[in-house]
Amino acid sequence: MPELPEVEVSRLGISPFLVGEQVKSVSVRTPKLRWEIPFELQQITGQVIRRIHRRAKYLLLETDVGTAIIHLGMSGSLRVLDVALPPGKHDHVDLFMMNGKVLRYNDPRRFGAWLWAEKGSIHSVFDNLGPEPLSDQLTAEYMAARAKGKRVTVKQFIMDNKVVVGVGNIYANESLFTAGIRPTREAGSLTLSEWEQLVTEIKLVLAHSIQQGGTTLKDFAQTDGKPGYFAQELRVYGKEGEPCPECGAAVLAQKIGQRNTFYCPLCQK
């Protein structure tokens, strides 16, 4: 599914066409995705989109009366297209703009969401979320304090949105590899020095993936239709049996928390 870098790439892709522009109308062809699309979303009609930002894997389109909240789910994508282009089979929501563009939401699996929050309110989907991984709030000291006494694996710990948002499976694998930390270790066993290294690598891996346009494995493509290129730079994810890029040992794979996990048995301690 689209992870934080892919959502951030989508934000960067759509913002130049939408921020400062007025919404002409909303077309909802599929009233229920993961949840029912609220009728209140229609309030965005006639409003100017003042800002588009991201919280975790949600995109927020802010106006003077409220905020449209978009989640891409497992297979969702956003495109900015000319208004004359007809919708396809899996195009469920259109945001028509006065500038002749349309923000089109496509989602074959229909597990994404369009929500609405009135001005001044915070939607419940943002309850209990940890800090953003690229923010100053994510520090080694914070992670060490949260991990103290925790026996859950470090991989599951850094993927817990209550601890830190947006470190999805691909990026957890890659960050743990570059930090030299085995994913099966208990979170509470890491030293402060190891947390400093891991936090640094999480930030570097996510930032680099955003720069490369995200990671295209199956469903994700950028808003211009081009694939993300970070997949070409994956070092261990999906590479079971292949030589480790550092030491040449065969990359191992196992399930941790129902998720595929890849690591080097020599480089990661």
pLDDT tens string for the chain (269 positions)?
678 988 998 898 899 999 999 999 999 999 999 999 999 999 999 999 999 999 999 999 999 999 999 999 999 999 999 999 999 999 999 999 999 999 999 999 999 999 999 999 999 999 999 999 999 999 999 999 999 999 999 999 999 999 999 999 999 999 999 999 999 999 999 999 999 999 999 999 999 988 886 544 333 344 555 544 456 679 999 999 999 999 999 999 999 999 999 999 999 99
User: Which phi-psi region, left, alpha or beta, contains residue 18 (left: φ > 0; alpha: ψ -120 to 50)?
Assistant: alpha
The string of DSSP letters for 166-196 reads ---HHHHHHHHHHHT--TTSBGGG--HHHHH
Look up residue 83 and give its DSSP letter: T
Which architecture, in CATH terms, is 140-263? Orthogonal Bundle (1.10)
Distance CA 169, CA 152 (A): 16
**Using an 8 Å Cβ cutoff, are 262 and 268 in contact?**
no
> SS3 for 106?
strand
User: Could you give the CA distance from residue 239 to residue 116 in angstroms, rounded to a whole number?
Assistant: 41
Residue pointed to by tokens 């570059």 = 178
Active site residues: 2-3, 57, 259
Burial of 99 (0-12, 13-18, 19+ CB in 10 A): middle
Q: Any known ligand binding at 50?
A: no
Cβ neighbours of residue 76 under 8 Å, at least 6 residues apart? Answer: 2, 70, 105, 106, 107, 111, 112
Distances (CA, A) of 240 to 135, 205, 251, 258: 32, 20, 5, 16
pLDDT value of residue 2: 79
Q: Dmax over Cα atoms in the chain, in whole Å?
A: 59
Superfamily of domain 4-126: MutM-like, N-terminal (3.20.190.10)
Count of positions (residues) in the chain: 269
Domain ranges of the chain: 4-126, 140-263
Model's pTM, two decimal places? 0.88
Element housing 52 (H / E): strand 51-55
Q: Encode burial over 57-66: b for 16+ CB neighbours within 10 A, e otherwise.
A: bbbbbbbeeb
150 is in an annotated binding site: yes
Asked if residue 174 lies in contact with residue 236, where contact means CB atoms within 8 angstroms, the answer is yes
90 annotated to bind ligand: yes
Question: In this predicted structure, what is the pLDDT of residue 13?
Answer: 87
Q: For residue 221, what pLDDT is reported?
A: 40
Q: Which of 254, 252, 256 is nearest to 268 (CA)?
A: 252
Closest among 53, 71, 70 to 62, alpha carbons compared: 53
- Residue 48, judged by CB atoms within 10 A of its CB (0-12, 13-18, 19+), counts as middle
Answer yes or no: are the C-beta atoms of 216 and 227 closer than 8 Å: yes
